[in-house]
Structure 1
Amino acid sequence: MEIIEKKEADNNTNNTQTGVDSLDNKEFEERRLKSPLHSLKHKFVFWYTRRTPGVRTQSSYEDNIKKIVDFSTVEGFWVCYCHLARPSSLPSPTDLHLFKEGIRPLWEDSANCNGGKWIIRFKKAVSGRFWEDLVLALVGDQLDYGDNICGAVLSIRFNEDILSVWNRNSSDHQAVMALRDSIKRHLKLPHSYVMEYKPHDASLRDNSSYRNTWLRG
């Protein structure tokens, strides 16, 4: 299953390794030139990570992270997002990442190394809707302490999907708790859902991270 869906069955798929439709760049430019653009506060990048279950690889986690597309305008976002495959159609395990430009979806990145993430687990039937609501809130800079946010990840797994929001500073208690409340508010999260915050350095120490979830498959 491609990360970016094909618009035509007979389209030439020259970039199957990254899941990019060869028509996307041309269509994007045509749409961009037709109307005035509305700039976003931040430029964003969609990434994905995927492997085949049961297949061992010698490549590092960083090597498996592939860039899909970047955008900096409202119009650019919708052109990109409308071509992305829905989470429900993607195989397990797959990670979708949406991060501000210049920040890699890695703990070791300088923007992430002192931060952490809010974690929410969802049943697979509803995760796509919550992911979309989070993406819109992030792109639209609607979450509190937005400058402290690095990005978000949807981890698609076999029995459940895991959504996380990464921030820069795990020691700023006010910003961390305000982010939690803002996520709950924008996602209209039911009270039955539990949110867990975990600093990235704790994930590195105890091996109970998304990266290790990925490696365990």
Structure 2
Amino acid sequence: MNNKFDALKDDDSGDHDQEQGSPKDNEKEKLEDDDKEQSITRRKMVVPGPGEHPLQYNYTFWYSRRTPGRPASTQSYEQNIKQIGSFASVEQFWRFYSHMIRPGDLTGHSDFHLFKEGIKPMWEDDANKMGGKWIIRLRKGLASRCWENLILAMLGEQFMVGEEICGAVVSVRFQEDIISIWNKTASDQATTARIRDTLRRVLNLPPNTIMEYKTHTDSIKYVCVLKRRVGGWTSPGQDTSAWIGTV
């Protein structure tokens, strides 16, 4: 983790229709549209404040909570997941984090998600759909410490896998808690192995800890099979543990 982050941790603180207009006119309109989109994107993206320590990427916190056993759909999942806020610097992160409930104090089926800005915590997101996640099941009482260690390592670029990391999730359940880290390319075995080894190190996991890697494609297929079996209820983008007790 970079020194700036470590130091502050201790503070506690469209269609191409050529029938109308000339090619030059169409090209000009396209450039103007692109400029507008980029301008909107720039306005929406958070930036570090004066004198703050910028992170390599911007991130967004999300929260979701659901009644266990209740049928869910893609639409209801998207409605249920709430964006807490985005940040671009170490200081902005601590402003959010210092006021958030720790995972160990959450009740019911609740999830915190921390993803790079612009990536939704859903399997179907373009950045996630070809990827997967490392999953670790925790006994009760360990979620808060493991979650903090995981996200500090992610923000501090300790995984050393370039742009592969998409985000991380902590899922609070009745009998156990689950943490996972998502990456873009499930087929890149060298990268997934590096993420696994770094995860073991930053969480100080015992050698016999069971770690499971699951591709999002497999997760979607699994949910589709269950959907057919149980009459059409599913929870795309969400850990299947949210409604069937397993991931």
Q: TM-score range by the shorter chain?
A: 0.7 to 0.9
1:168 to 156, 165, 184: 184
1:126 to 142, 145, 148: 142
Highest CA radius of gyration, 1 or 2?
Answer: 2
Structure 1: how far apart are the matches of 2:131 and 2:163? 13
CA distance 1:188–1:72, change in 2 (3 Å): same
1:21 is matched with: none
2:14 is matched with: none
Matched, 1:83 2:83: no
1:23 is matched with: none
How far does residue 188 in structure 1 lie from its aligned partner after superposition? 1.2
Structure 2: how far apart are the matches of 1:87 and 1:41? 25
Instruction: Count residues with an aligned counterpart.
Output: 185
Structure 1: how far apart are the matches of 2:124 and 2:69? 27
Matched, 1:186 2:202: yes
How far does residue 54 in structure 1 lie from its aligned partner after superposition? 6.1
With structure 1 as the length reference, what TM-score do the two structures score?
0.79
1:102-117 to 2 correspondence within 5 Å? Answer: 102-117=118-133
1:38 is matched with: 53
Contact 1:100 1:151 in 2 (8 A): yes
**Which stretches in structure 1 are left out of the alignment for 5+ residues?**
1-31
Q: Percent identity?
A: 47
How far does residue 128 in structure 1 lie from its aligned partner after superposition? 1.1
With structure 2 as the length reference, what TM-score do the two structures score?
0.70
Deviations 1:113-150 (A, max 9, x none): 00000000001111211111001001111112041000
Mean CA deviation greater in 206-215 or 91-100: 206-215
Contact 1:127 1:161 in 2 (8 A): yes
1:148 is matched with: 164
How far does residue 56 in structure 1 lie from its aligned partner after superposition? 5.9
1:54-93 to 2 correspondence within 5 Å? Answer: 60-93=76-109
Q: In structure 2, the residue corresponding to 1:125 is in which secondary structure?
A: coil
For residue 39 of structure 1, what is the amino acid of its counterpart?
P
